[in-house]
């Protein structure tokens, strides 16, 4: 079974400050890790993904995430946020063993203040 825990439901931050959105997961099989973003009144889009290789992955809009296998974490970071980063961020794990299936975390609402 897979599960995804996003440790913060809401993260308020001032513009140009750094931010980290935390994600922990558990799985009995190998999984692939993703962050998706949902801007207000829009659909989900991929921010970044980890499939294999380097544990530090870079995505769109200056975001990056680090896969930590020992801590089963995949935290999302950005060194300096903008007002336009205000959105809902979802961590997700996908397995392809025993069928393709993605489990999403509960989401973290990032609110960037001026």
- Size of interface with another protein, in residues (CB under 8 A): 22
State which residue, 3 or 80, has the beta carbon closest to another protein: 3
Backbone angles phi, psi at 13, to 5 degrees: -150, 150
Q: What is the smallest separation between the CB atom of 13 and another protein, expressed in angstroms?
A: 20
Residues 47-106 that bind another protein (CB under 8 A): 49, 51, 90, 94, 96, 99-106
Rounded to whole angstroms, what are the CA distances from 56 to 4, 45, 89? 19, 20, 18
CB atoms within 10 A of CB 51: 10
Q: Which residues bind another protein (CB under 8 A)?
A: 32, 34, 36, 42-46, 49, 51, 90, 94, 96, 99-107
């Amino acid at each position: 079974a897979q599960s995804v825990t996003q440790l913060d439901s809401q993260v308020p931050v001032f513009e140009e400050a750094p931010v980290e959105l935390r994600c922990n997961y558990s799985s009995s099989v190998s999984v692939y890790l993703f962050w998706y973003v949902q801007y207000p009144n829009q659909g989900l889009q991929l921010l970044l993904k980890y499939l294999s290789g380097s544990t530090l992955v870079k995505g769109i809009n200056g975001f990056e995430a680090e896969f930590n296998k020992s801590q089963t974490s995949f935290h999302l970071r950005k060194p300096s946020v903008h007002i336009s980063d205000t959105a809902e961020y979802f961590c997700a794990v996908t397995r392809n063993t025993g069928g393709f299936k993605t489990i999403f975390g509960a989401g973290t609402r990032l609110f960037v203040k001026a």
